[in-house]
Structure 1
């Protein structure tokens, strides 16, 4: 059997010590696919990563969601109902739907920038997360967002507790304290959302937000059952701000470290309307360099830098044999540093996305939102949020890191690539 190569020092102990460094070594020394341990492989470059993500039948996503359906006496929604709920949800998240609501997203991005304290070092990720949560929850639930935002924040906290590194990996059926906390927060969110769903349906005022799209009858599958709607929303609610918050930390750090790029974003952002509510998709489309900067930061620091898949059958990947049941770790972090796809891959160069050769549609070129059947459904919303947040910040401030030899943040790689504790200083532009 033709097995992928393996690093001499490769092991879970070395992996746990410095996952980014070992991932880079594996890609550099072993190539497209390498073996971490028996039955655990890493897809390290653009081609194999793209292939695994697109071959969803051979390499399916993990079947256990972070917020699984709640157990009820009436029974959980069927797999068909869950699929229909996902399709209905996508109607509210597709690029055309996001483009139509830019005027609702932009004011919150501007408010975040307006409220940044100047002249002091600020730990910026908490206010970033709060601002993006307000944008995301409002996008999903419109006028009902204020009611649901506190419950969404608790869902995020439950997620953080649940994915915190631990020495022990407990079987899924064991009700650990973290899992019980998750269930309590999920029940609280669902109990807050249920009367909103019933009020909208009984009044006939379904709303133009994502929830409204899910409440509408479809010619293909009719009305969704209430439980199918409720079960599908906790995960996407947290996703609208959790992953973008990680990305925003890296973006703001790059604005601080690359003042010429920040100046170019500021000049571009000067064309935005004075009233953020007047911002349209045309204004967003005009922020071409800002979008390129966001995309370049996401290339270098993909928030979801490692994706887990499991082979359902013995198959081939990059001319290697992968046995059924094997785990394949898809690594956008190293795929984005594939010099065959990105010249000078470690260099921060937003301009690479401004010509056709750097098209994100090129296979394997850009995997920060995944690809294939399980690609990020909120990609258009995330790009709009991050682009407007970047533009509104750069048009007001010059950002800088605190002086001194110590780094202004710690890099964490567990569950996502993030700048924990990031501190930055904002100085008003003259």
Structure 2
């Protein structure tokens, strides 16, 4: 492949400026350099929707780094079984996807809705509370229950420890250790993986021996497939720590931003409340049809995810020289895909910095058609839990707005800190609920 032009570089950019203000530098780079720009030699930022989508869809040219947060346990198997093969891991992923597809989620809305309602019911009124911890706990209950049904209560404490291991691993450090170095954080991570796996193993044994596999996601993985038969036990177990944490970790950040926007946009919150008023009095009677009728609520959730994508930056590698948006990307380069700036591109969204849920309603005759939406990624590595996350967030939003007016504590400055290292989150956000009655 011939040499092409190099992406422009932000004159006073670089890792030092990036570490001080990632969001600010990302926006400056997009405004001053355009669709693709160079952060450091060999490190590029895809800032606009077109290049972002191209990188995510061209998985052969820009593969995802093979460094999962919860890698397979390379320990001596107590069962004596060999480690799963790459083919078996691929089959396990396909089986997992059966339990997360939109139809499967819609069929279990009646299980998700009660916990969303209980979150709203238990919110203490008349006082400012830090919102991320109770949101995370509620979404963990929903997510772990969706995966493991009646076995969820025994596994929920282990899921909480897996989340803590994740938080310890991603904390900033002045040293970047090679992956093979057993740092304290990595040893803690391994202990929690082992504990979770060993708590889950007897569940798998009991379900298979009894023949009652269950209708949850684990049950889907335990069912034999006409294409590949019965999955080995280790292939089932190894794939579950990461997806267990993923069901609530990223949605928790999104939910915090959503609740903040309900507080800042009371008219939008009123509209959500009016729409949610038609939900069944018994949350367990909620169905997929009820969820589909929450059109404005889903539009509001999408608009918040556009403005504040929890996974605002995705990392890909270029193992060989390739082209991106008419630029040459050298072999061995890193490409940072930035949904945050792609979602604020005026070519994709009119008034891109304005909070306008109506843009997602798609009413007949509407002059506006929203642009590319990357909050859940796209392409081969798009988020497999998109349908579950949208159901959780929509119901939590509807049930909360149905009961309360939300407000921020008084003061000239936001009472929270925006973190960007592993995801976009309003850490320390405090909100007050006042009953609508």
State if a TM-score over 0.5 links the two structures: yes
1:191 aligns with 2:194: no
Q: CA deviation at 1:76?
A: 2.1
Look up the match of 1:160. 167
Look up the match of 1:317. 324
Q: CA deviation at 1:359?
A: 6.0
1:393 aligns with 2:396: no
CA distance in 2, matches of 1:310, 1:424: 40
Q: Alignment partner of 1:117: what SS?
A: coil
Q: Alignment partner of 2:316: what SS?
A: strand
Look up the match of 1:271. 278
Contact 1:57 1:312 in 2 (8 A): no
Q: Alignment partner of 1:92: what SS?
A: helix
Match of 1:344 among 343, 351, 358: 351
Counterparts of residues 4-403 of structure 1 (less than 5 Å): 4-73=7-76, 74-355=81-362, 365-403=372-410
Q: Alignment partner of 2:239: what SS?
A: helix
CA distance in 2, matches of 1:136, 1:38: 41
CA distance in 2, matches of 1:341, 1:407: 29
C-alpha deviations, 1:210-250, integer Å up to 9, x for none? 00000000000000000000000000000000000000000
- Of residues 403-412 and 229-238 in structure 1, the stretch that sits farther from structure 2 once superposed is 403-412
Structure 2 portions without partners, runs of 5+: none
- Of residues 398-407 and 201-210 in structure 1, the stretch that sits farther from structure 2 once superposed is 398-407
Q: Alignment partner of 1:321: what SS?
A: strand
Q: Alignment partner of 2:247: what SS?
A: helix
Look up the match of 1:420. 427
CA distance in 1, matches of 2:180, 2:413: 43
Q: Alignment partner of 1:80: what SS?
A: helix
Q: Alignment partner of 1:382: what SS?
A: helix
CA distance in 2, matches of 1:376, 1:99: 17
C-alpha deviations, 1:298-336, integer Å up to 9, x for none? 000000000000012111000000011100000000000
Q: CA deviation at 1:407?
A: 1.4
Q: TM-score by structure 2 length?
A: 0.97
Q: Alignment partner of 1:213: what SS?
A: helix
C-alpha deviations, 1:250-294, integer Å up to 9, x for none? 000000000000000000000100000000000000000000000
CA distance in 1, matches of 2:112, 2:323: 44
Look up the match of 1:3. 6
Q: CA deviation at 1:15?
A: 0.2
Contact 1:402 1:423 in 2 (8 A): yes
Q: CA deviation at 1:176?
A: 0.2
Contact 1:137 1:145 in 2 (8 A): yes
Q: CA deviation at 1:406?
A: 3.2
CA distance in 2, matches of 1:197, 1:358: 50
Q: TM-score by structure 1 length?
A: 0.98
CA distance in 1, matches of 2:276, 2:368: 23
CA distance in 2, matches of 1:135, 1:155: 16
The CA RMSD measured in Å over matched residues stands at: 1.0
CA distance in 1, matches of 2:338, 2:34: 12
Count of residue correspondences: 427
